[in-house]
Structure 1
């Protein structure tokens, strides 16, 4: 699988896990709670979903690199929100804590691999 598609798939998985963590951390039978404690998380998840949609239709290599960096930035933002308690979670968040902290690192590695894959291919063609 190409590195760009891997970035998209893992980012989509991260989005789904983060939305599940937001939804389940609102309490029993509460559903989506759109107060000031969690609204910023839902808005950032919406931006990430929009970026995923845009990243699926871009064609050129430069646009893909920009989209990969924006996806990484948005996932990093969600990670920082969870790390520094910008979004309030309850004890249900602990079910997702490993994945919420691990997947952005995996996305970072894949984005770096994607960025340098083009440079590696061009040096192979020259040598």
Structure 2
């Protein structure tokens, strides 16, 4: 059985256990400031939906939950797209088509968001699902 908190925690742990692309990684909501001119990433886990799969008594009902890991890759805007694209590919590889801790990850997407001030931003989205019993 996986709860939304357990799913988010498992995804965050996998990220920190496998990511070496940037020296600085932040969780969304952390009050931290990136070092100016140094690539960094921001990790967010978002719940996107759910469906009840079975009826029944308490502790016997199954729900399918969907979520996604979002990884924002920030590189200096004056350094071109190569570094950002390479980091985005590496981030996608950590989750895409993997399963662990009751989570099943699917095809991940990479989007070039553009320039925001001094940062070139790419966004990696990695959808996954898991089962919760209530």
Shorter-chain TM-score category?
0.3 to 0.5
User: Which has the larger share of strand?
Assistant: 2
User: Which has the larger share of helix?
Assistant: 1
